[in-house]
Amino acid sequence: MRPFTPPVRTLLGPGPSDVHPRVLEAMSRPTIGHLDPRFVAMMDEVKELLQYAFRTRNALTLPVSAPGSAGMEACFTNLVEPGETVIVCQNGVFGGRMKENVERCGGTAVIVQDDWGTAVDPAKVEAALAGHPEAKIVAFVHAETSTGAQSDAQRIAALAHARGALVIADTVTSLGGTPVEVDAWGLDAVYSGTQKCLSCAPGLSPVTFGERAVHKIRNRRTKVQSWFLDLNLIMGYWGSGQRRAYHHTAPVNALYGLHEALLILHEEGIENAWARHRRHHVALRAGLEAMGLRLVVAEPDRLPQLNAVAIPDGVEDAAVRTRLLDELDLEIGAGLGDLAGRIWRIGLMGRSSRPQNILYCLAALEAVLGGTGTVRTGVAVAAAERALAA
């Protein structure tokens, strides 16, 4: 056995994205105690920086000490009680995971189904709410990572609130890359991940809960089924001031990294980050279309930082991705579920969303696909450069 030395890759898949060097350096700093006053002061800054990223003033805003899937579970286990009806919007893999969470909490999931690669249809949500006036929650994925489709979070939240229901929103792929307006849109419970547009390492899940959600959590009829994710307990650790109730040993160095990643986002400016992801998406699209490749999501519903590209007929999905990884150290993602073998997912998230990565990806695709006769060669990089210069 020898120390593990990972290869240097260009990460342009659905996540993780490239981690900023400043974040890697921050994570290597000396470990201190998770109740050390200096660490507690940093926790307060992390909370404030997350409020900036989420565009919220919610007091209950914190990073769950586990990946985005735990953030999902934190929302459902704290808000769904046995016997309650939850409307779940499913237009990809992660809506299906929401359904699973509802059922494991003892709730009943009413599914609003939309085709993979399309946005959630608000009219279907409205019909589901009318047909199930007992529904307590509407849950949806803002940015469906499995397809690259983005739904209208503001509209869905308004429909839910008109019927007295709370909303749970998945912003794992959208936070930091495309507008997420927690307060302006009235999102009650929101979770995300660190490894996408925040340019941080995987392992933490930012969450935020509004007053309506906090009221429900504090007035549950039953105990939260997860001790570790019970926000009634976690609030004592991620509270305010120097006095913190011990709950668990926080991942100290991972939180150093998140603090640095959020500082970088703050320095850039959240609106500038959104604009950067949009600008680079347009350049990538120009290069792909010049080659003759097609994006599968309709433009109004297209997520800028996660591009679902139709695989040309006769091209073997895995063979192309393997060559890109083995020969060019470039990672792109495969399709999942209904889209497995039919699409590649090219992510331009966080630090990965840079002009040099766009040009490298397009040149690599031309090199690998050029011999198949399925794309035009020698045109993609120039098309992207024109878009970047516009």
User: What domains, with CATH codes, occur in the chain?
Assistant: 20-267 (3.40.640.10), 270-389 (3.90.1150.10)
- How does DSSP classify residue 178? S
- Is 156 in contact with 31 (CB distance < 8 Å)? no
Angstrom CA distances, 73 to 60, 120, 191, 195, stand at 16, 21, 9, 18
- How does DSSP classify residue 295? B
Helix 252-268 to helix 270-291 angle, to the nearest 10 degrees? 80
- Is 202 in contact with 195 (CB distance < 8 Å)? yes
Angstrom CA distances, 86 to 105, 168, 354, stand at 11, 10, 40
Q: Kindly give the confidence (pLDDT) of every residue in the chain, 390 residues in length, as a single tens digit, with 9 standing for 90 and above.
A: 999 999 999 999 999 999 999 999 999 999 999 999 999 999 999 999 999 999 999 999 999 999 999 999 999 999 999 999 999 999 999 999 999 999 999 999 999 999 999 999 999 999 999 999 999 999 999 999 999 999 999 999 999 999 999 999 999 999 999 999 999 999 999 999 999 999 999 999 999 999 999 999 999 999 999 999 999 999 889 976 667 889 999 999 999 999 999 999 999 999 999 999 999 999 999 999 999 999 999 999 999 999 999 999 999 999 999 999 999 999 999 999 989 999 999 999 999 999 999 999 999 999 999 989 999 999 999 999 999 999
What is the full DSSP assignment across 331-347?
Answer: E-EEP-GGGTTTEEEEE
> Would you give the distance in Å from CA 285 to the centre of its chain?
21
Of residues 47, 28, 106, the one with CA closest to residue 240: 47
- What type of residue sits at position 382? A
